[in-house]
Amino acid sequence: MENTCIICAKQANSPDIVWQDELVSISHMVRHPDGTDNYLGYYMLETRRHVKGMYDATEEEMAAVGVMLRRLSRAMKQVLGAAHVYAFFIGEGVDHLHAHVVARYPDTPRAYWGPAVDEWPEAPRGSLKDIRKLDADIRNVLLEQPRDLD
């Protein structure tokens, strides 16, 4: 762990953590902690270990990422009513492997589909309190989901 990594720091001690185990961690993006314009349904799925990219992760870590992408995206469809859920691995901003897992709402205009989905002005947005409520609902669904395939 590098002391300067914001992802390692968040995982070590943060109320933002929705769920984590020994391999992966889930938290909601909070761009504006004091604002009410945070896109609701913008999760980060990260490895626990500080690795730069998918090429540095173990197969066990990437398998855990895949399982949690499935579980989290299903929870987001259930809780948010998302029409679709994106996962973006970019990794140029922070040297710690992470996916942006973002809901697309049913009425989102075609022009906002894809990486710009959170720029749709009419999208559901909220405060840190709204995010915490959403996190609790997502956590409950994650804990209820069976780990096997259904």
Establish if 5 lies at the interface with Zn ion (CB under 5 A): yes
Query: How crowded is residue 106: how many other Cβ atoms within 10 Å of its Cβ?
Result: 8
- How buried is 127 (Cβ within 10 angstroms: 0-12 exposed, 13-18 middle, 19+ buried)? middle
User: Which range, of 42-50, 60-68, 113-121, 139-147, touches Zn ion by CB under 5 A?
Assistant: 42-50
Q: Which of 49, 50, 84, 139 binds Zn ion (CB under 5 A)?
A: 50
The reply on whether position 7 binds Zn ion by CB under 5 A is yes
x/- map, 73-112, Zn ion, by CB under 5 A:
-----------------------x----------------
Q: With CB under 5 A, what is the number of residues at the site for Zn ion?
A: 5
**Segment contacting Zn ion by CB under 5 A, of 6-14, 74-82, 111-119, 128-136:** 6-14
Q: Is 10 in the site for Zn ion (CB under 5 A)?
A: no
Cβ neighbours of residue 49 under 8 Å, at least 6 residues apart? 23, 57, 61
Question: According to the binding rule CB under 5 A, does residue 17 interact with Zn ion?
Answer: no
Decide if residue 71 touches Zn ion (CB under 5 A): no
Residue 64 as a binder of Zn ion (CB under 5 A): the answer is no
Out of 8, 23, 72, 103, the only residue in the binding site for Zn ion (CB under 5 A) is 8
* Positions that interact with Zn ion (CB under 5 A): 5, 7-8, 50, 96
